[in-house]
Amino acid sequence: MAEVLARVARLPRIGRFGWLMGLYAENYRKLVRLFEPADLVAGNYVSQGTDGLALCLHVIEQHRYTVELRMTYALRDPVTGEPDPSAFLRLYRDARQVEATHCYIGRRWQDVIGMYPPPAEVIGHRLRMNTFLGKWLDYLAERGHGVATLVRVENDSAAAEPDVKALTLTSTDR
C-alpha cells in the first residue's frame, strides 16, 4: 500500500498555465479542422449550418506567423448592439495554438474581472474564455459548419467590421 501512495505522489501536476496552453493547442486543432483559416484571405465569410444561425467569420489580418479573426453569429445584443456571442481569435501558425483574446458573451471583460485584476484572475478569465471557445467550436462542428459551408461576402471595405445584418444569407444565396 505504501508503494502505491509513493508512486501517486511522484506524478507531475499540470498547473493552470499549462492547462491554458493545452486549451490553446486543442482549439487550434478544432479551428483548423473546421475552417482552415490560414488559407483564407482577409475579409468576411458566412457559414450556414443546420442550426439556422449564420456564423460570421471575419479574417481581420493575415501575418507571417499569425492570423487574426473574429467569430460571431448574425445576432446583436439588444442592449449594447454588439454581436453576441463574439470572440476575437489569434491563430499562431508556428506554435499551432489559437487564443481567444477577447470574448463578448453578454458582458465585456472589464465588467467581469475589473480594470486592474490580479494575474491569477487574468489566467482564470483566459481559461474560461478558451474553454467557451472550445465548446463553441465543438457545437459548430456538430451543426455542420465548416469549410464546405463557408461563403465569402464582399463588403465595401475589406478592413471594415462586418455588418452582421447584411451578412445573413438565404438558401438561394449559396
The per-residue pLDDT for 75 is: 77
pLDDT in tens, 40-87: 999 999 999 898 889 999 999 999 999 999 999 877 766 666 767 889
The per-residue pLDDT for 169 is: 40
The per-residue pLDDT for 92 is: 96
Q: What residues of the chain score a pLDDT lower than 70?
A: 1-12, 77-81, 83, 105-120, 155-174
Q: State the number of CA atoms in the 13 A half-sphere of 21 facing the CB.
A: 5
The per-residue pLDDT for 154 is: 85
3-state SS track over the chain: CHHHHHHHHCCCCCCHHHHHHHHHHHHHHHHHHHHCHHHCCCEEEEEECCCCCEEEEEEEEECCCEEEEEEEECCECCCCCCECCEEEEEEECCCCEEEEEEEECCCCHHHHHCCCCCHHHHHHHHHHHHHHHHHHHHHHHHCCCCHHHEEEECCCCCCCCCCCCCCCCCHHHC
List beta partners, residue 21: none
